[in-house]
Structure 1
């Protein structure tokens, strides 16, 4: 079917990604945006843009009627859904078809079938695709699920039938936790996908997560483009993805590829899809699910095949045959991708909100960064906290790994916390470097890695911060060439730490005393974004941003925020025993599980919040009695807002 203008029914990096290829193929594009995204990058990149509602996803990016109305108003005769939101919604695809709009994706029946983990598993069993034993029945009562869980045995996996991305998924290792885990999985699934239907499966421990990229056209041709290894996961969400998998031999690739093509053929698949498998240590593999859309991690497949998968989607949607046969597909080199998130690893990966003050993505040979960020924009609590994808390609896996570490550490983001230090540490870990990481890697091999602890600024970084803050008003090298020889004390704070730095200014250099360490600093170049200086004779460049009494410094992928406290009034910082339970981010209160006068114990869940499409349980830090509750279910709260107080 011919079309001329493509509306991208999405936001962020994937909207920007689709716009780039659509423009390269000569198509005009339309961006849709919520009120919160009016200044977003994808809005500026498209030829036209139209607001479809408030920030809440149900009133904007999940509002099918608003998106179809936007297409009709702008004359868009095709819709690309990206991933997430309505990309796997068969009702939306059907509505596009009814409105005469080409849906750049698979047929309605395939979306409907594969969008249900329960129905798709039944279909795959009938098609002879290997599946994990479990329960996928229509009876969804708690009594039946508990009975079936007893039959399947532990460890047990609970999954949202309509879900993905780890939402609505729980691992049960103790039957006493089953009822609560079912309740929690149902609630999260209902919120994220509009359906609380669940399936149960026997958990395969320490497997690899390997997925096969498939493609079909309207003429019955279906091929696969090799595999991606997505084993490094946190909370069942992928963190690192690579192609090809270090655990898959050519023979196993052919076997898994044939099973994936068989799965796609069984539902007469058209377009881009991914068949996901669990790969056990003995080489056996089991069907997990089929995603009827473009995957977040599609760039690694593009890099090792040299293909543009979005271009393939568009060509297939307009009726063309696949550009290649199976025998023509070649895999060359290696590619690895990491997901840059607004989150704080040291706080159990709590999502973060805040302004994007500086965004400087790395550049270099073999480096690709897909993102939707603009300086001056703000990251709120309404959407997934993924900010960008950093991808590296090399002739070998080792080349790609080393390039990616450098790209992560050379990317600069100021304004909110992110997970760059955590990502670089994963890539450096000997288990990952050897290609041996399984889905258990982060919990077992990586469980006590320093990158998940609160980052501590080195004494040398304190010295640099003090020197730069003392000259912030001048922003020039000449500011250091002063005749003032008196010692100058500066009190700096970063996070919960405080440090006094004694600065001694000489004719062409500064001496900084931090604790019992002394540093000699020479400044060679300074502007608003970068300082080039020598510390004890070692010259380096450091990215920076100074606003008032605050200075952001990037230390090889870890942003530190220093505050000059020298002339600010002293106030006692509240410690962990203050008794105040505060919201860790902007979000909505969905449950309050205590009341004034109630005795609570350390670790007990007191409030459940929802933010960035995830549930977050907030627990008591110590035993005590609830003295006040300041919020109720349904309240929208801001980060650091007091929710309740416990007297110890």
Structure 2
């Protein structure tokens, strides 16, 4: 594995390349015409244009990507996150071409990508799942009948969905009737599968995920948890580890359940088991993400391990770098903030050219960015500009560093959510750590009411 093709773009492609460079591995970038001048293209040892801007004509052209890997003599493909990372067909094609896919087996991706099938698998492994339908609901009438049994509010979800896409909360039968067909249509458009199911909505829940790793030798370990409850439109914007206010005993049960989930599917490489926790600390399996997470740097900061290096070692067929759970320790506290080119109030994307991007480099932070000054944030892709990851001895130290950093951080040329973070990190709801998935929406509502007074 002396040369790896990264089938992705932006900050994650660049982040993977940096680990490869440290390990003496050559890197190959594939990029769209729209991304020609981005840093990851310049940083790679080799770079090849794959098509025009739209993802269907570039980053999702699986056969073309594999052909380039074979042509240039790459021995493996790293899919990053998003795009083709959880595409079982792509993983299978990579394997069939004689290349290493740096991720779990195609069969595992396929199983865990089907939320209904994964629910059933977790039930078999005695991992708690959210009360819901164990089969797809084919008609609105069937959905209404099931919802009446579960009790409102419910979540209407695409079985093949992910990233907050293809899911909506329904407070009553009227809302379910209103959204049923649109969620099916959205699922079909985004995932090629219109199967939907219902889950009971857990009120005032926290969203906690556990990082796991497995190898070909049957070793599976966890690398602790991340709290991902600060969300907008069901998508994460702030993640932290350890999770504030999480009782130690509950955390231990979460870790045990996550490892059990991994063992149930003979998991290999990096994966994340996501849970929701109720107000009384009951927890339920939500989904398993069969890839590296956007928020993986949070875990890297508290454990000191390079998760991409672990991925590469496992893909080579080696044992986990650390297979004894007792040797894996968490130190201090880390928080990640996702910086988006978007309106900080409406969250609508704000494409454009980044004229300047500046921050106080004397503040001890990690900035993983896919852009530099002069870079174009196009409407073709997710508008995330960067991730700001801050580590410290304790949570209050991290929040203080964050406050100092965001007061010096500015991006010109596009709107960004920096103003949101500048205010939100000092809010009572976030600062005390006792928050749930409603925290950002409630804070925004309060801010709006203050402005309107």
Q: TM-score band, normalised by the shorter chain?
A: over 0.9
Task: Give, in whole Å, the separation in 2 of the partners of 1:453 and 1:43.
Answer: 44
Q: Which runs of 5+ in 1 are unaligned?
A: 455-648
Residues 131, 61 of structure 1: alpha-carbon distance in 2 compared, 3 angstrom cutoff? same
| Contact 2:344–2:418 under 8 Å retained in 1 | no
Shift of 1:362: 4.2
**Which of 209, 212, 215 is the equivalent residue of 1:211?**
209
Aligned position for 1:45: 43
Shift of 1:140: 2.7
| Contact 1:354–1:379 under 8 Å retained in 2 | yes
Between 1:200-209 and 1:318-327, the stretch displaced more is 318-327
Task: Give, in whole Å, the separation in 1 of the partners of 2:360 and 2:121.
Answer: 44
CA deviations over 1:350-390 (Å, ceiling 9, x no partner): 11111111122442353001110022221111111111111
Task: Give, in whole Å, the separation in 1 of the partners of 2:59 and 2:8.
Answer: 7
The higher-RCO structure (CA 8 Å, 6+ apart) is 2
RMSD: 1.6
| Residue correspondence of structure 1 range 66-81 to structure 2 within 5 A | 66-81=64-79
Residues 453, 184 of structure 1: alpha-carbon distance in 2 compared, 3 angstrom cutoff? farther
Q: Does 1:333 align with 2:342?
A: no
Q: Which runs of 5+ in 2 are unaligned?
A: none
Task: Give, in whole Å, the separation in 2 of the partners of 1:445 and 1:14.
Answer: 30
| Contact 2:342–2:416 under 8 Å retained in 1 | yes
**Which of 24, 29, 32 is the equivalent residue of 1:31?**
29
**Which of 318, 321, 331 is the equivalent residue of 1:320?**
318
Aligned position for 1:133: 131
| Contact 1:78–1:101 under 8 Å retained in 2 | yes
Q: Does 1:8 align with 2:39?
A: no
* Higher-Rg member (1/2): 1
| Residue correspondence of structure 1 range 85-100 to structure 2 within 5 A | 85-100=83-98
3-state SS of paired residue (1:147): helix
Aligned position for 1:276: 274
**Which of 244, 247, 250 is the equivalent residue of 1:246?**
244
Between 1:403-412 and 1:170-179, the stretch displaced more is 403-412
Aligned position for 1:615: none
3-state SS of paired residue (2:37): coil
| Contact 1:205–1:440 under 8 Å retained in 2 | no
Task: Give, in whole Å, the separation in 2 of the partners of 1:314 and 1:168.
Answer: 32
Task: Give, in whole Å, the separation in 2 of the partners of 1:333 and 1:452.
Answer: 36
Structure with higher strand content: 1
CA deviations over 1:438-488 (Å, ceiling 9, x no partner): 00112224422269979xxxxxxxxxxxxxxxxxxxxxxxxxxxxxxxxxx
Aligned position for 1:434: 432
| Contact 1:156–1:173 under 8 Å retained in 2 | yes
CA deviations over 1:382-426 (Å, ceiling 9, x no partner): 111111111111101000111112222322211010000102222
CA deviations over 1:225-272 (Å, ceiling 9, x no partner): 000001111110001100000122322221110100000000000000
Aligned position for 1:195: 193
**Which of 225, 235, 243 is the equivalent residue of 1:237?**
235
Residues 361, 89 of structure 1: alpha-carbon distance in 2 compared, 3 angstrom cutoff? farther
| Contact 1:79–1:103 under 8 Å retained in 2 | yes
Shift of 1:150: 2.5
Aligned position for 2:298: 300
Shift of 1:179: 2.5
Report the TM-score, using the length of structure 2 for normalisation: 0.96
Shift of 1:49: 0.7
CA deviations over 1:182-225 (Å, ceiling 9, x no partner): 22222332333232222210000111000000000110000000
Shift of 1:312: 0.4
**Which of 250, 255, 258 is the equivalent residue of 1:257?**
255
Aligned position for 2:288: 290
| Contact 1:31–1:48 under 8 Å retained in 2 | yes
Q: Does 1:344 align with 2:358?
A: no
**Which of 38, 55, 58 is the equivalent residue of 2:56?**
58
Task: Give, in whole Å, the separation in 2 of the partners of 1:362 and 1:173.
Answer: 45
Task: Give, in whole Å, the separation in 2 of the partners of 1:409 and 1:149.
Answer: 47
3-state SS of paired residue (2:182): helix
Report the TM-score, using the length of structure 1 for normalisation: 0.68
Task: Give, in whole Å, the separation in 1 of the partners of 2:449 and 2:187.
Answer: 31
Between 1:257-266 and 1:36-45, the stretch displaced more is 36-45
Aligned position for 1:353: 351
Task: Give, in whole Å, the separation in 2 of the partners of 1:27 and 1:429.
Answer: 44
**Which of 396, 406, 409 is the equivalent residue of 1:408?**
406
| Contact 2:231–2:237 under 8 Å retained in 1 | yes
CA deviations over 1:539-569 (Å, ceiling 9, x no partner): xxxxxxxxxxxxxxxxxxxxxxxxxxxxxxx
| Residue correspondence of structure 1 range 524-563 to structure 2 within 5 A | none
Task: Give, in whole Å, the separation in 2 of the partners of 1:381 and 1:82.
Answer: 20
Task: Give, in whole Å, the separation in 1 of the partners of 2:447 and 2:242.
Answer: 26
| Contact 1:241–1:337 under 8 Å retained in 2 | yes
Shift of 1:280: 1.1
Aligned position for 1:267: 265
Q: Does 1:381 align with 2:379?
A: yes
Aligned position for 1:223: 221
CA deviations over 1:99-141 (Å, ceiling 9, x no partner): 0110000011111111111110111011100011111314533
Q: Which runs of 4+ in 1 moved over 6 A?
A: 451-454
